[in-house]
Structure 1
Amino acid sequence: MSEKTFSQLGVPAPLVTALTAAGIDSPFPIQVDTLPDTLAGRDVLGRGKTGSGKTLAFHIPMIARLGGKLAGGRRRAGRPLGLVLAPTRELATQITNTMSPLAEAYDLRVTTIFGGVSQGRQVTALKEGIDIVVATPGRLEDLMKQGFLHLDAVEITVLDEADHMADLGFLPIVTKILKATPTGGQRLLFSATLDNGVDKLVNQFLHNEVLHSVDEANSPVAAMTHHVFETSGNDAKKELVYKLASGTGRRILFMRTKHHAKKLAKALTEAGIPAVDLHGNLSQPQRDRNLAAFGDGDVNVLVATDVAARGVHVDNVELVIHVDPPMEHKAYLHRSGRTARAGAEGDVVTICLPTQQKDLASLLKKADIQVQPQKVTANSPEVLELVGEIAPYVKPAPREAKPQGGSGKSMGANAQRKRAQRESRGANPAGRPTRVTIDGKPARDRSGRPPANENGQRRSGSHKPSNGSGSRNYGTAAGGGQRQRPARQNSR
């Protein structure tokens, strides 16, 4: 942490008060480096690892500069003055949730625009007048084409996770969007890397930009500890995974495919370890419900694919487990970045089968991670130390399985890009609009009927998930855990 305060960096008093109320007292290095320039209106290119504080580094100058000028006085329908582009729905929602309390200090209105939900509430918000829009590129472009949104009044534009937008194939759309903003506006670009065409965006749209990179030694991400646990085979791996998942703290388990994420969440829940899953086969309400259950502490285990590798921020995730090692080193770094965020400590475990040792060694070398592999069992001291206190057994609630659609097969890079672009524009993986409103709140469709499931069938009555007794369940149709307080048992 720096010894400088937000006030010394030029942050206005109303925002300092709002930051303090949110428990944010000291700026991180990337905020110390960038705020003097961003608050002065300069274009900035910020580079730093995930969890290094990039998000707050653009929240503060956008709100301070717009709020100081506007105070709600120049609000016009469909013509925001601030624009934040993010690659995924989860990240866009996360940005809005953290920005909104700060924006209230100046009575600024912030709204989220992303695909996979009905555009009705988004259009209504735009017509009522919005100061700052946080959006995914596809849906934003659609609303522009329909005439609901115009970017000719935008004074500050932010590109967050620009490298991930490039990975998902969004750069052509992002280029069109940036061309629609005024040339003289301030532009801030935050990215972990400058590959895959991000440098072209910088050259084309940033003017006299200042580059700020966070040194690894000064980054709060340095509080992350890496482990490689080698197992003798699949049975030993399964036992190890269950043990690592059984602690009382929050942990995220990463799988390579949607099918295996769903299957493991169900299996853990049935073993008395309540878990929820997060992957591309879930509808937006399912994603929101599962993330809420994890964030609220109703369950401590999230089993996810790389859809959760970026944009999912939950406080105090103490352990990230690569159950399936990722295919490339950037995915490893972003998955791992779900822990040890904003100065907190955290551990990262990669489980390695004998056949994976060579590939994993190469991946870690590219990621610049130096760690000595350890041969372990589920009861090795190194494992038990990470697990800590064992959480009480939770009896799984009976639940009727409902089909979710999708084959569960792993997608290639092109398929992943197409899915992300489809979701950004407003379609779920099956190509149908998902009937929820802005910010993930359930809604009825235009006919007033309950939303359709992934097979086109409509539920009757309440949307709320139920196990028949009024208790709330979490997880997908394939598995969920009922939180209750049974007598403590020593075995699973």
Structure 2
Amino acid sequence: MTSASPSFADLGVPGFLCDALVAEGRPTPFPIQQETLPSTLAGRDVLGRGKTGSGKTLAFAIPLVARLAAGSLTGRPGSPVALVLAPTRELATQIANVVTPLAAAANLTVTTVFGGVSQKPQEAAFRRGVDIVVACPGRLEDLIGQKVVSLSRVAITVLDEADHMADLGFLPGVTRLLSQTPAGGQRLLFSATLDNGVDKLAKRFLSDPVSHSIDSASSPVPDMTHHVYEVETAEERTALIRTLASGTSKRILFSRTKHQAKRLAKQLTASGIPAVDLQGNLSQNARDRNLAALADGSVKVLVATDVAARGVHVDGIDLVVHMDPPADHKAYLHRSGRTARAGASGDVVTILLPSQRADAKQLLRRAGIQAKPRVVTAESPEVVELVGERAAHVPPVAGGPGSGNAPAAGQTGGGRSQGANAQRKRAAREARGAETGQGGRGGQGGGRGQGGGRGGQGGRRGQGGGQSGQAGGRGGHAGAGQSGQRQGGGQRQGVASTGGQAQTGGQRRHRRASAR
């Protein structure tokens, strides 16, 4: 009989942080947190080896806040007391999103520092005084050089994804930054590997570190793990689906109907989880756009139907969810095959109601899957552990992913689709307009410009195009100068003469005067 996993309180986490963790939907610690928290909370330096998504952000965020609060350490203007270094702005933002709720529980402040954005808000934050800084090395060094910030009072330093920093060539800058922090401070270093200079960095800056290895590269990699979750009601299923969709890694939720796929993607997006759908009613451009958003990480959730997803391959799908048991075992195997590809590992979840239990049992048997149903809720520890770290809430944006009207790449938003099919249709309309002298549905600019709508390219009777368009059509070519412009005595031109040549008002007055 196995013992129950320890709680955060059992590991020594202060009560106010336990409450904050529960409020954030993180009631139970992950393995890496269970292993490292006793050491980090005691003030020891730690060298942790674990892959992204293992829960290491929380593993260092908790002791970071707990030890600052216990020591009553707070920042001063231009002088923070804790520093987290990350290789990319995306990771820095993600870390800050995890740290901020915990810091708020201790009345501590957090700011992010990275390049590619104006540094004025960052300067303003330091002038006000900030406690915890989550930074990329380059911009932080710039601000230090400008005397905006000093690291002389930093008591705790965290280096996350050190191996990635090494790959990006950041280790010299990291070394300079760590050298500016007090030698007696606590230092936590997390890296998947210890090559490319990371080992030298650890030896130089960590004092008698405790080493922990979670999901090391040498451990065997499982292919696919199957879970069958039974819920009592449709409402519980909805809540479970939302929880399963809320992680930081990529996942695909399979739906039986196109309507359900489209609706769920919109609902998830509206609730702060960006999602896109993939179903038969989408155009090819929309399908490509949604798949690209998943592939590049713009969204982490794809809601798909069986037929639409056939043949789809996106790297890094960690979780497949069957929101209902599929129609047969072949569909189950096909859906599930979207994860654990190319030697990677993945999880597959099947959600069922009590009335679906018998059919699901037969389906899994035919698929050769040995997984017993477990009655769960959205808050069950095994569900929370499977989901891993929760992604930050993303406010929905009109026209953004999942809204149903995201603009295609290159579309200006001015009402003119830039897709290849739309361009072919537009070209055909304009070709017809050239033959008849009429502007198409927008012509060459619409309005009162050159062609289009009321300002078209002239009519079949040789009349000028609308209010200020080009003369043309069967009536002949434009009169002196370009159509749509005021010429001569300022009169608007564009009325075709009976002889077929459009003339300006000035020309007509000149001829009448000559006749008299």
User: Larger relative contact order (C-alpha < 8 A, sep ≥ 6)?
Assistant: 1
Corresponding residue of 1:296: 273
Corresponding residue of 1:3: 5
User: How much does 1:307 deviate?
Assistant: 6.8
User: How much does 1:21 deviate?
Assistant: 1.2
Q: Encode CA deviations 1:148-182: one digit per residue, 9 max, x unaligned.
A: 11001000000111111111111111111111111
CA distance in 1, matches of 2:272, 2:291: 10
CA distance in 1, matches of 2:291, 2:412: 11
Corresponding residue of 1:185: 185
Determine if contact 1:465/1:472 at 8 Å carries over to the other structure: no
Structure 1 unaligned spans of 5+? 227-247, 255-271, 277-290, 326-331, 341-345, 353-359, 371-380, 386-438, 443-463, 482-492
Determine if contact 1:94/1:313 at 8 Å carries over to the other structure: no
Secondary structure at the counterpart of residue 133 of structure 1: strand
Secondary structure at the counterpart of residue 349 of structure 1: coil
Corresponding residue of 2:374: none
User: How much does 1:253 deviate?
Assistant: 9.2
After TM superposition, the structure 1 = structure 2 runs for residues 259-408 of structure 1, keeping only pairs within 5 Å, are 296-300=273-277, 301=290, 303=292, 308=297, 335=316, 349=338, 364=343
Determine if contact 1:47/1:213 at 8 Å carries over to the other structure: yes
1:49 to 29, 40, 51: 51
Secondary structure at the counterpart of residue 299 of structure 1: strand
User: How much does 1:48 deviate?
Assistant: 1.4
After TM superposition, the structure 1 = structure 2 runs for residues 106-185 of structure 1, keeping only pairs within 5 Å, are 106-185=106-185
- 1:298/1:307 CA distance change after superposition, 3 Å: closer
Determine if contact 1:187/1:206 at 8 Å carries over to the other structure: yes
Secondary structure at the counterpart of residue 134 of structure 1: strand
Corresponding residue of 2:32: 30
1:67 to 69, 85, 96: 69
Q: Encode CA deviations 1:85-116: one digit per residue, 9 max, x unaligned.
A: 11111111111111111111110000111111
Aligned-partner residue type, residue 119 of structure 1:
Q
- 1:160/1:480 CA distance change after superposition, 3 Å: farther
Determine if contact 1:162/1:190 at 8 Å carries over to the other structure: yes
Corresponding residue of 2:20: 18
Q: Encode CA deviations 1:373-407: one digit per residue, 9 max, x unaligned.
A: xxxxxxxx99xx9xxxxxxxxxxxxxxxxxxxxxx
Corresponding residue of 1:93: 93
Secondary structure at the counterpart of residue 19 of structure 1: helix
Runs of 4+ in 1 over 3 A off after TM superposition: 221-226, 248-254, 291-295, 304-308, 312-325, 335-340, 346-352, 439-442, 464-467, 471-481
- 1:131/1:298 CA distance change after superposition, 3 Å: same
Aligned-partner residue type, residue 15 of structure 2:
A
CA distance in 2, matches of 1:14, 1:313: 33
Determine if contact 2:192/2:216 at 8 Å carries over to the other structure: no
User: How much does 1:297 deviate?
Assistant: 3.7
Identity %: 52
Corresponding residue of 1:82: 82
Determine if contact 2:85/2:158 at 8 Å carries over to the other structure: yes
Secondary structure at the counterpart of residue 46 of structure 1: strand
- 1:249/1:154 CA distance change after superposition, 3 Å: closer
CA distance in 1, matches of 2:152, 2:311: 44
CA distance in 2, matches of 1:206, 1:321: 50
Aligned-partner residue type, residue 186 of structure 1:
Q
Q: Encode CA deviations 1:164-222: one digit per residue, 9 max, x unaligned.
A: 111111111111111111111110011111122111110111110010012579x9x96
CA distance in 2, matches of 1:338, 1:212: 26
Aligned-partner residue type, residue 204 of structure 2:
Q
CA distance in 2, matches of 1:193, 1:313: 28
CA distance in 1, matches of 2:162, 2:77: 28
Secondary structure at the counterpart of residue 188 of structure 2: strand
Q: Encode CA deviations 1:205-243: one digit per residue, 9 max, x unaligned.
A: 1110010012579x9x969559xxxxxxxxxxxxxxxxx
Structure 2 unaligned spans of 5+? 227-243, 253-260, 278-289, 322-334, 347-362, 368-391, 414-516
Matched residue count: 309
Corresponding residue of 1:242: none
CA distance in 2, matches of 1:23, 1:113: 27
User: How much does 1:26 deviate?
Assistant: 1.2
- 1:87/1:224 CA distance change after superposition, 3 Å: farther
TM-score (norm: length of structure 2): 0.50
Aligned-partner residue type, residue 292 of structure 2:
V
Q: Which of 1 and 2 has greater Rg?
A: 2
CA distance in 2, matches of 1:321, 1:169: 40
TM-score (norm: length of structure 1): 0.52
- 1:323/1:192 CA distance change after superposition, 3 Å: farther
- 1:92/1:249 CA distance change after superposition, 3 Å: closer
